[in-house]
A and B are shown apart, each in its own frame.
Chain A
Amino acid sequence: MSKLSRRQLIATGVVTAAGAGGLAVAAGIARRYGLVPPDSGGIYGPGETLTYAAQRVLTKHSPAREFSRGQISAKPFANEVSPLGDEFARLQKASFADWRLTVDGTVAEPTTFSLAELRSFPRRSHITMIQCEEGWSYIAEWTGVPLSHVLTVVGAAPKATHVVYRSFQPDWWESIDMADALHPQTLLALEMNGGQLPVGFGGPLRMRVTRQLGYKSVKYITHLTVTDNIKQFGKGLGSASPEAGYAWFAGI
């Protein structure tokens, strides 16, 4: 082996060793600063951790793009959901007067809200895009109560790391970290394009997470649980999505 290529071999070795060492240090730092997603185990763990950590470092407080009124999609599209059943039909017939949102977990005052109570809270609107992981998208105006306001009302503990939310649809649950839960655009949406939120689009109450794909904006929200231990829910992967093979972090 020539001198030059030997030198190169040594240099490559040093770079590789430095890279491996750097990765180990980075993994430690990531764990300490909450940059590891709940579904970080398994063969796709390294990629998911890199994606989530990079996004959290770069985008922790950034607002999703907002659009002009003229850009609102004339014909939005909603994916079909499985039949909601008789109980939902009964609630819908009564204009959702009996719909309840329960908030519990690491909060000072576990509380149950009616939609009327939620409507009495300060509201916020934004015109944002919702993207499906399938590839399609639409823009709509969403109006609702910032999740951060509800968390303040119930006195969410400062040590909380995630908010778990459940749908009226059984076995459908999701969670977001506090960066998204406290994000000013994250809404418990009650209205769409100035009218009542249609059932097809998640009415009467939909979680609207603007910086993640549509499957994080769960329809028919009934229950929020604030937690400092996301691993205790379900199979410990953060939400029902990874249990069905989809990434927990859906920012890309």
Chain B
Amino acid sequence: MAETPRLRHSLWVRVTHWLTTLAFLALLVTGLEIVVSHPRFYWGEVGNINTQPLFQIPIPASRATVPTGYGYTLPDQNGWSRYLHFQSAWLLVLTGLLYVGVGLFGGHFRRTLFPSRSDLSAKQLMSSISEHLRFKRPGPEEAWSYNVLQRIAYLLVTFVGFPLIIWTGVAMSPSFVSAFPAAVNVLGGQQSARTLHFFLTGALVLFLLVHILMVIVAGFWSRVRAMTTGRASRAMITGRAPAVKQEGV
């Protein structure tokens, strides 16, 4: 068998990565569009323009009844936004289940995401944090592997961020919580779920921005190509192919 280049990212990782990207961007745009119809946030079970908001985003609204201080209303885009939001949510959930299922049972998470004990030592963590803060371009050792901060960030997004935003999302559904009232009760109420859903969006957007920044630091096109074709570029390997044995990631 002819020698072929090993893959940086296997097919299912690449497919789930870009499907998640697509779903997330659609959810973000439509979610903000939905917020525009009532850019006020509350805590507890209920909230409306006759009650005190927790905070209000200082933007005009798409509904005339919301007192925003602006003398005009934006066009109402809620119909298609809600349709696309839920369709994208399904794409995100199904892609996420595939990713987590294959990742857990195929050993991918164990091999590439779970940090080793030595990675988690204070010294290692501090050195990795310092490298990130100095925007140090990753060396060849990272052409085939994730650094410890990357691993922690990806694990947090996969196992904390997305599960929480899906939970707070369905906790707003009057139909879903009729069968699973605890889903909203433990969050402190339906409006609390909505507010938390908004904060979690902020957290995931922050991850996305840092993720893109780090990809730029590491070499934007080489990393995007690796996540698309699966192949590591020469730039990533920087002329020194690692001597490690093929592990078939």
Contact = CB atoms under 8 A, between A and B. Distances in A.
Chains A and B are bound partners? yes
Interface of A: 1-5, 8-9, 12, 15, 44, 46-48, 50-51, 55, 58-59, 62-65, 67, 71, 73, 75-77, 79-80, 129, 131-139, 210-213, 244-247, 251-252
A47 B80 CA distance: 12
B15 to A, nearest CB: 8
Contact of A5 (B45, B79, B88, B248): B248
B238 interface: no
A9 B248 CA distance: 12
A246 B78 contact: yes
A80 B65 contact: yes
- Which are the 6 A-B pairs with shortest beta-carbon distances? A47-B87, A251-B175, A245-B79, A4-B248, A135-B38, A75-B50
A177 B83 CA distance: 19
Interface of B: 1, 4, 6-7, 10-12, 15, 34-35, 37-38, 40, 45-51, 63-66, 78-80, 82-84, 86-90, 98, 102, 106, 170, 172-181, 184-185, 190-191, 194, 246, 248
B178 A47 contact: no
Given A65-B177, A76-B50, A137-B48, A1 B4 contact: yes
A50 B83 CA distance: 12
B65 A251 contact: no
Given A4-B248, A5-B10, A211-B178, A46 B34 contact: no
Contacts, number: 150
Contact of B79 (A58, A246, A251): A246
Nearest to A242: B79
Nearest to B87: A47
B90 A137 contact: no
Given A59-B175, A63-B178, A80-B64, 7 more contacts: A15-B12, A47-B89, A71-B46, A73-B48, A132-B38, A134-B66, A246-B78
Instruction: Tell me if A's interface is mostly helix, strand, loop or mixed.
Output: loop
B4 A64 contact: no
Nearest to A213: B174
A178 B87 CA distance: 25
A210 B34 contact: no
A51 B63 CA distance: 26
A73 B65 contact: no
Contacts of B246: 2, 4
Nearest to B41: A135
A62 B38 contact: no
A64 B180 CA distance: 10
5 contacts: A3-B1, A132-B38, A133-B78, A136-B48, A211-B174
Contacts of A12: 11-12, 15
B178 A65 contact: yes
A62 B184 CA distance: 15
Nearest to B180: A58
A210 B178 CA distance: 9
Contact of A44 (B83, B170, B248): B83
Contacts of A244: 79
B63 A134 contact: yes
Contact of A71 (B45, B50, B98, B102): B45
A252 B179 contact: no
B47 A251 contact: no
A139 B45 contact: yes
B4 A58 contact: no
